Structures are given as structure tokens and as C-alpha cells.
Structure 1
């Protein structure tokens, strides 16, 4: 099964303004940009890794100032606009804490939501749009990781019929209506994923050549991850303005002329525009 994930920072959802920039920082989302059922037409035997999937980087980092915020849309809006991969940072910071907090990855600002609430919102969406699937990568932080792992095991057991936790990549028939967990460095449940290294020093480098090499080895069997990350002292929004435009051009050009179609995979974005998301799907 194949899967690529490209992490990027950007979003534009107003009409034509900024068209082609791939970037948006307007929290409003016009319903005409909804893509709630775009996976419905994908054949059942298609591996999830073989699909180009728009995702969000630090999906729930909406609070904490310019160095922490990576998104402007809520989880609900991200699902409605067509995002199907979510990168979540979570943990427990107090010994008597009974639920898993969502925070940003650098500064640890609380994002006013708990992990079980995230699962609930995703499942509510999948109940209404049961031909879709959602990929979820969870990274743990904080002092009490053993407790977090224990709580996560309870949650995955509670929802075991709705969550894919196997190492193998599912096809769409196996994934529809479910959350597919991807492994992270701190949470080893779920499907393997690998970096594509499309970006070097936050610039796209030799992408078509890299796709050609990745395709026969990884894309049919693993999730491939392409990501850009702002440094701790650089604003994700600043990076997104540059990277998203470059990525948008790549997606459009790849669709038109690439000899290696079908191996772009998941794009993990900060501040993505509705145009960029639409072009990915």
C-alpha cells in the first residue's frame, strides 16, 4: 500500500483572492468549498497509500501566538473542506489528569480540546460521510507518557471496530468509515510511514526524480511523508506563504505532465487554501 504525506503550511478560502498561492489565513469557510464526500468515487481495492490526500500539519494548533499557530480552520471545517490526514500532538502534564490534552508541539500551549473530543468529532463526521476515511498521526509529549499510552489503549479498544491499528496499509474498502492510525516516534500503533524528502531546506528539490525512485519501493507498501517544518523561532505562517505556493505549482504541474502519476500521497499543510486542497484531490 502506498502513501505520501507532504507537510506544508498554508490556506486560502476566500473567492479568487490569492488564487494560486496555496495559502489562507481567513477562518471563514464558504460552503461552496466543501469537499465532504470526495473519497466516495475511489475504487474499493485502491490502497490508501495510492491516493493523493490533503492533510494538515499540527492540525489543532489554533492558539498560542504566531510561533505556535499552524491552522486557522477548526477540525470541523478542515474535515468539510476535504482534509483527511491529521497530525495531532497530545499528552498529560499533571499526575491527576484523567484525559489527554491537545497542545502544540513546540511551546505546549493548551489547545482547548481533549483527545477523546477529537475522536468524537471525527467519528461524528464519518457517521455522516461513511465512504470517507481519516488518517491520524498522534505524537505524545509531557511527563506521564506511560499513562498516556494506557489511556490510548483503552480508547483504541473502545473504538476497535472503527479504528485501523494494523501495520499494513488498508485499501479503501477496509478503511471507509474508520480512522487509520499512522505510527509516530512516540506512538507505535498503526501503519508505517516514511518521509519522501521532496523538501530540502524548505525548498522542493528534484521531485520527479525522487518520485520515480520512491514509487516502486514505497508507494505501494508504505505511507510516504513529505513535510516542511518551521524552526522554533520562525512563524509557521511565514513559511507557509512560501512553501504552499511552491507546492501548489507542483501539484498542478504533476497532474498535467508527470510520467509518475499516483505517487504524491498525503500532503500535510499549514494554512492551506481551499484551492490547494481541491487540486490535491
Structure 2
């Protein structure tokens, strides 16, 4: 992206770094809260910074996303030569899973009251590799530094502080909270931006009114023949921002809100919906 074309709004940002940081926003929340009860900002295809307009989903590097308050990461890996390399479709993102874990752990050591949800997915395998799950277990055992939640149950915030909470999609092993047990709104193939927004709004409202013991994930992201992640984010993110702001000042559980090119105003609005726990602007 050329510098002169970079845009920044409260809801959408494709610049290299956020304007506001919220590195410790979870510190004001009580330990007893289940993570499913917390409104959490996240990024879709979190490491997809390289590639053409159909591939690129983010402009902030991982460290910037975490500093900005992002607490859900969507990590897509291909197992090559015994290593998890980070891809979006067939575009290598010049990163590997070790780097993702190390940078996330480094952030959590500096901000031990925080937790990071991490969806780990095998990216578009022709045939799923049988050694994907054992290699993931090895990564988490050897490089997780004892700070990874790999149990099936959704933890409380107190149990999860300082840890990465794995959301896994493995068929035969449990290495974290099973993804298929979550309420996921991910209509990623987009024919109409208007219809996509209707789907996002419907799932956000389901999260607000649904069982708080069930974790809700709403993907605001998408791609399609007539759009791309950045163009769609310019349409969806402002609508999401206004929808959430319409209930500002009230305690609303929006669940995990997963975005491409999020703006800091949108992130702050998601965080501030946890009002009963005393978040507010204190960490900006």
C-alpha cells in the first residue's frame, strides 16, 4: 500500500501502526469472568500483511495489534519440512508459528493480566496432514513456555491471564477449546456488502442476547468476486462501529468481534462494552 493512499478512521485503519494503544485493558476485569462473557476485539487472518488486494487483510504487525488491544488472533499454518509456516491461501507471509508464539508470549510477559485467544488452523490443505496435530502439540509443549491453555473447557479470565488460549479445529485430539463448539458467524464469501453487514449485525445481536456460557465469534471480514478484504472493511467496519456505539454506556456482551483493518475507535468501543468491569479509557 502506498503511503499517500493510507487511510485512517475511527473504524478503519490501513496505516502501519495504531493511533491509540490499550495494552492492559483486561487488567480491570474480575478473575471470575468466563472468557465467553467478555467482549474481545480480534483480527481475521492476523498475519496476512503481504500479497495483493485479495490476500492482504491487515496493515499492523503482530506487536501493533496486541498493543492496540487485539486479543484474538487467527493464525493459518501450512506444515512444511516439519515447520508451521504462515500462509494466506498460497501466499507465504514470511513468518512461522514459532515467531507468532514468541512474540505473543513476550507481550504476555510484559502484560501478565492479559490473555490472547488464538485460533490455529491448517491453511487449505488438499488432504489434511496427519502430523499437523502432533506437531502443534510439540510447538505448544516446547515453545509455549507453560503458558498455553490447551484444555477443552472455556477458562475464566483468572485462569487465562498471562496465557495463550488455543481454539482448535483438530479431528482427533483436544489441544484447546474445540472450535466447533463455539457459535461462529463467518460468512466469508461475499456477494453483497449490504447482505454481509446484515449477517454480521444478526450474529452480533445473537451474541448480545445469547447464552453467555457459549463463546460467540463474529467475523466482520470477507472476500468475493466483486470485493476484497480492504474494500469490504471500509464498508463493514464503520457500520459495526456505529452499531456498537448505539449501545455505548450499557453493558453488552458482543463476544469476539473479528475484523480486517480495524480502527482504534472500533477496538475501544468493543473493549468499553465491558463496562461493569471498569474498563473505560484508563489504559489508552
TM range (shorter): 0.7 to 0.9
Match of 2:262 in 1: 272
Regions of 4+ moved over 6 Å: 197-200
Q: Which residue, 170, 174, 193 being the options, matches 2:155?
A: 170
Matches within 5 A, 1:206-217: 207=201, 211=205, 215-217=209-211
In structure 2, do the counterparts of structure 1 residues 67 and 50 end up closer, same or farther at CA, with 3 Å as the change threshold? Answer: same
Matches within 5 A, 1:29-108: 29-30=18-19, 33-93=20-80, 97-104=81-88, 107-108=89-90
How large is the RMSD of aligned CA atoms in angstroms? 2.7
SS at match of 1:73: coil
Q: Do the aligned residues in 2 keep the contact of 1:54 with 1:85 (CA within 8 Å)?
A: yes
SS at match of 1:254: coil
Q: Which has the higher contact order (CA 8 A, sep 6+)?
A: 1
Q: Do the aligned residues in 1 keep the contact of 2:147 with 2:164 (CA within 8 Å)?
A: yes
Q: TM-score when scaled to structure 1?
A: 0.81
Q: Do the aligned residues in 2 keep the contact of 1:57 with 1:70 (CA within 8 Å)?
A: yes
Q: Do the aligned residues in 2 keep the contact of 1:91 with 1:144 (CA within 8 Å)?
A: no
Matches within 5 A, 1:201-240: 201-204=195-198, 207=201, 211=205, 215-217=209-211, 219=212, 221-233=213-225, 234-240=227-233
* Alpha-carbon distance between aligned partners in 2 of 1:58 and 1:273, rounded to the nearest angstrom: 16
* Alpha-carbon distance between aligned partners in 2 of 1:254 and 1:71, rounded to the nearest angstrom: 27
TM-aligned CA deviation for residue 280 of structure 1:
1.1
Q: Which residue, 83, 88, 98 being the options, matches 1:116?
A: 98
* Alpha-carbon distance between aligned partners in 2 of 1:185 and 1:172, rounded to the nearest angstrom: 24
Match of 1:245 in 2: 238
Q: Do the aligned residues in 2 keep the contact of 1:193 with 1:224 (CA within 8 Å)?
A: yes
TM-aligned CA deviation for residue 137 of structure 1:
0.2
Matches within 5 A, 1:10-21: 19-20=9-10
TM-aligned CA deviation for residue 157 of structure 1:
2.3
In structure 2, do the counterparts of structure 1 residues 136 and 209 end up closer, same or farther at CA, with 3 Å as the change threshold? Answer: closer
TM-aligned CA deviation for residue 149 of structure 1:
1.7
